Amino acid sequence: MKKIAWIVFSLIFFLYAEGNSTDANITQDANNSQELQKNIQKAIEAEKKFKEEQKFYMGDDYNLTEHKVDPKSVDKVPLIEPEYDFDITDLYSD
């Protein structure tokens, strides 16, 4: 009888704890929904722009100069040598 009472008590406790939300969760959900609404508005504005222009952009229409990498900075990146001494036999030894 004690086991049944303990199980019922623990189920009620866990179900109540799951349904209890804190203020932090509520504010986080509000912030997420506000951020979602901002992103939706940005997408709507972009779609309005595409609707007015009625064109598909091709590769020549994009300005990619801002994403170019300086070749001198690439030389400063250290070279990582691969490790060729990996042995898979030790991985599956049971």
Domain assignment of residue 62, yes or no: yes
Domain assignment of residue 9, yes or no: no
Rounded to an integer, what distance in angstroms lies between the CA atom of residue 59 and that of residue 50?
16
pTM: predicted TM-score of the whole model, two decimal places: 0.32
Domain assignment of residue 66, yes or no: yes
pLDDT in tens, 28-48: 666 778 888 999 999 999 888
Domain assignment of residue 68, yes or no: yes
Domain assignment of residue 71, yes or no: yes
Q: What is the band of 7 on the pLDDT scale with cuts at 50, 70, 90?
A: confident
Domain assignment of residue 80, yes or no: yes
Measured CA to CA in angstroms, residue 82 lies from 43, 89, 92 at distances of 43, 19, 22
Domain assignment of residue 10, yes or no: no
Domain assignment of residue 31, yes or no: yes
Instruction: Retrieve residue 62's tokens.
Output: 């994009």
Rounded to an integer, what distance in angstroms lies between the CA atom of residue 29 and that of residue 17?
18
Domain count for the chain, please give it.
Answer: 1
Instruction: Return the amino acid letter for 40.
Output: I
Instruction: Retrieve residue 64's tokens.
Output: 């990619």
Asked if the model's pLDDT at residue 62 lies above 60, the reply is yes
Q: How many CA atoms lie within 13 A of 25 on its CB side?
A: 5
What is the extent of the structural domain holding 62? 24-90
